[in-house]
Structure 1
Amino acid sequence: MSDEDFQEPEVLLPLDAWHRAHGARMVPFAGYSMPIQYEGIIAEHLWTRESAGLFDVSHMGQLLVSGEGADAALEALLPGDIKGLREGRMRYSLLLSDEGGILDDLMVTRRADDFYLVVNGATKIDDIAHIHEHLPEELTLNHMDEQALLALQGPKAVDALARLVPGVEALSFMTAGAFAIAGVPAWISRSGYTGEDGFEISIPAEAAEQVATLLADQPEVKPIGLGARDSLRLEAGLPLYGHDLDPETTPISADLGFAISKRRREEGGFPGAQRILAERAAGSAFKRVGLIIEGRQPVREGAVVQPDGKITSGGFSPSLQKPIAMAYVPAVSAVPGSTIAIEQRGKIFTGTVTPMPFLPHRYHRQGSSK
């Protein structure tokens, strides 16, 4: 996260008073007042890796696209196979400019009568305007601004949630469905952005305190702030929009080519397809890579990769006990094991290119045992 994220708060989250009552230190972030930590970033990070952490991600944009032909209309905006998405299945995708740059990354889920999208909080207003402009008039786009969104993440998340929502354990990674928590209607997906097993829970904003309290009362669960959310996703090798992804970045240079399905690669028909498919065939000039940094001091976003490139995320890994980073480097330097020089505040650091994720993902995939 950079200083640009921390702006004057414009909106209080539905759980604002709840966070403060639980000892959160609040900071302005992307137009919201949000908890950055409760008992400490490292402790919260390690608790999530070992047990279950509760995150408030209600600043994210929750959208519904409905109407006949919604899948085809979304395929005109996204490079994924939306038509082939079965009910209750979700997919990571990218909102692209006509030049092939990434306007946002998002999740899309097919429900019985509509498509449910979750977009980034800092870009949701622009996303809504862009999607609305490009959707056919007969389709409806709804911003679910009356909904809160919670993320329960960690290896014991399923134990805690199944106690309150019997049957939710049947979900596997990237599937979702309608449930209820103590009578509160909830749309729950088995997904998240920490690299751990876990769930995202969409509920009416007026029930957010009730549901958050029920979850936090479970012995496996503690509330977790923005700081640990950032260090967790970095260890998981997951890019953060506005830092590792932006309109100048293409899916190929960002190492997100998997988001372009085989059929879409063959058919094209999505924004920037000509450039993106040409890059896929010939390779991009720069690639997003993971780096292990020598020593104990982390390099941060904005540090310069020499002779060309940049650090986009960096920090100290609580799990690995060493500094890690993401960077864009020339393709010739993107080979695992390559060493690169990084300049930060007049000091030179050495980074070794390493495959991501830095820590193995532990998602609950279909057919696994719990």
Structure 2
Amino acid sequence: MPVTEANVSEANDLPPQTLPLDGWHRARGARMVPFAGYQMPIQYEGIMAEHLWTRENAGLFDVSHMGQLLISGPDVDVELEELLPADVKGLGIDKMRYSLLLNEQGGILDDLMLTRQADGFYMVVNGATKYDDIGHMREHLPDEITLNHLEESALLALQGPKAGEVLARIQPEVARLYFMEAGAFDLDGVPAWVSRSGYTGEDGFEISIAAEHGERIASLLCDQPEVKPIGLGARDSLRLEAGLPLYGHDLDEETTPITADLGFALSKRRREEGGFPGADRILLEREQGPVLKRVGLIVEGRQPVREGAAVVDADGNEVGKVTSGGFSPSLERPIAMAYVPAGSAVPGTRVRLNQRAKIFEAEVTAMPFVPHRYHRKGAAK
């Protein structure tokens, strides 16, 4: 879906909160809109320009609306495996893992990033669901497990092919990190927790710092000639090209990891042992195949097909749904994600889409739409 002023608002009776860098964004000409309970920058100079700049250089995103959690206590890895399908016990110190918070039916309550620290785990969850996530975990984790919400921390994401050289210029030691690794660093005198990860498909970093230092570090990064501030609009188009799902749109409580094509998040040991929420249903679905499956679509023509459009059969009956869609600045054509019948999920399959009584032709394609360029250990230079 495109991020526009009309659809970024989340259902919330409370007025939007402000990010620690709210004034910093406004001073740089950002257009602010409500999203996930916060006023957030949707764009500075334009979504297309910001998107392409990030693909070619480095963009700085303020993602301080995300939930940053510290979880610790006796046997905390064992307890987290009661809620997540990941091999938490096998996660090494300063190593990261993508995982899913599941309900008892195997539906996805949220997707998240988990990192083992020396004395526990650092978890990043989605901004729109963070309070529900915290409530769910506090309800299901033993009292001996401590869960701290880092409400006084900012989170910045530096993304793009030049992100590595930019951050190494400020702190050379970050160059030792590979994709899905993290560590504590000093950034110009500011203590920071830095992970080599992100939501664009490019190499990049997420930087957690005390909120009081947010503007200083953001300015330091944007003073580098390769870096510009980037808004929510380009963040959405970048993650769509990267084939990355957005919770609340491509994922929800009714969707299982197998239907969402996130089977990689089920580690081999956990598949063999089970014991995670919804394991019986998920493992049976993995064995027999899902009814629907999340796929990528290349849409014919120039007009994007948006979230909510129906996937229809030859008789016009709805058999699936588009969950994200927009125009790809990198490919210069419309792309989308959709749930389609499993029999139609093979790349090359032709499907029809109905958007406001207009029929669009599309073809199922492998994701990501644009190749990932993560800084992986052992990858060819």
Q: CA deviation at 1:369?
A: 6.5
Structure 1 residue runs of 4 or more that deviate by more than 6 Å after TM superposition: none
Q: CA deviation at 1:6?
A: 1.0
Aligned partners of 1:369 and 1:323: how far apart in 2?
31
Match of 1:161 in 2: 167
Q: Deviations along 1:240-289, whole A, 9 cap, x unmatched?
A: 00000000100000000000000000000000000000000000000000
Q: CA deviation at 1:4?
A: 5.3
Task: Give ranges in structure 2 of 5+ residues lacking alignment.
Answer: none
Identity of aligned residues (%): 73
The residue type equivalent to 1:51 in the other structure is N
Match of 1:311 in 2: 322
* Aligned partners of 2:323 and 2:336 also within 8 Å: yes
Aligned partners of 1:99 and 1:341: how far apart in 2?
31
Task: Indicate whether 1:341 and 2:352 are aligned.
Answer: yes
The residue type equivalent to 1:102 in the other structure is I
| Of 353, 363, 367, the match for 2:364 | 353
| Of 240, 263, 273, the match for 2:269 | 263
Match of 2:333 in 1: 322
Aligned partners of 2:380 and 2:119: how far apart in 1?
31
| Of 126, 139, 149, the match for 1:143 | 149
* Aligned partners of 1:9 and 1:33 also within 8 Å: no
Q: CA deviation at 1:180?
A: 1.1
Q: Deviations along 1:158-199, whole A, 9 cap, x unmatched?
A: 111111112101100000000011111000000001000000
Task: Indicate whether 1:178 and 2:184 are aligned.
Answer: yes
Aligned partners of 2:45 and 2:172: how far apart in 1?
31
| Of 111, 115, 119, the match for 1:105 | 111
Task: Indicate whether 1:296 and 2:307 are aligned.
Answer: no
Match of 2:26 in 1: 20
Match of 1:6 in 2: 9
| Of 121, 125, 130, the match for 1:124 | 130
Q: Deviations along 1:312-348, whole A, 9 cap, x unmatched?
A: 0000000000000000000011111111110001100
Task: Give ranges in structure 1 of 5+ residues lacking alignment.
Answer: none
Aligned residues: 370
Match of 2:227 in 1: 221
Aligned partners of 2:150 and 2:7: how far apart in 1?
26
Aligned partners of 1:240 and 1:225: how far apart in 2?
16
Q: CA deviation at 1:43?
A: 0.3
Match of 1:251 in 2: 257
* Aligned partners of 1:9 and 1:29 also within 8 Å: no
Aligned partners of 2:259 and 2:120: how far apart in 1?
32
Match of 2:206 in 1: 200
Aligned partners of 1:304 and 1:21: how far apart in 2?
41
Match of 1:75 in 2: 81
Q: CA deviation at 1:10?
A: 2.1
The residue type equivalent to 1:314 in the other structure is G
Aligned partners of 2:238 and 2:58: how far apart in 1?
13
Aligned partners of 1:313 and 1:43: how far apart in 2?
21
Q: CA deviation at 1:30?
A: 1.2
* Aligned partners of 2:8 and 2:33 also within 8 Å: no
Aligned partners of 1:292 and 1:321: how far apart in 2?
11
Matches for 1:42-121 after TM superposition, within 5 Å:
42-121=48-127
| Of 237, 240, 243, the match for 1:237 | 243
Cα root mean square deviation, aligned:
1.0
Aligned partners of 2:366 and 2:15: how far apart in 1?
37
